[in-house]
Structure 1
Amino acid sequence: MENITIYPKNKKQKSLLTSLLEEMKIRYEVVINKEKSLFTEDEFIAKIDKSLQQAASG
């Protein structure tokens, strides 16, 4: 069987989705991602830009 991964944006969406799945008697699993990013999105973009500049300059 195939899997579907859904990423609700907020608690309301999560609640609605879980209610729907329960009503339809669809087995589901809630996985809490405790992994933290080592840096923010802006820091990540800055690191990529720096790497691109280094590559361009040799």
Structure 2
Amino acid sequence: MAWKHGGQSDDADYKVEVIDTWNMTVTSLGAMRGFHQVKMPGKQYMALGFVK
């Protein structure tokens, strides 16, 4: 599964995290800016977190 995020009107960096709500873990993907494709694990109960 892939998820595309982009189109911010500002040129800010966003800290991106994959959140496993079942196992209660958070994996940081680092800072991203602009358009990116994030490969998601093929599991249920996963989320993405974005912090400006």
Q: More strand per residue: 1 or 2?
A: 2
Higher relative contact order (CA 8 A, sep 6+): 2
Q: Pick the TM interval, shorter chain.
A: 0.3 to 0.5
Q: More helix per residue: 1 or 2?
A: 1
TM-score (norm 2): 0.33
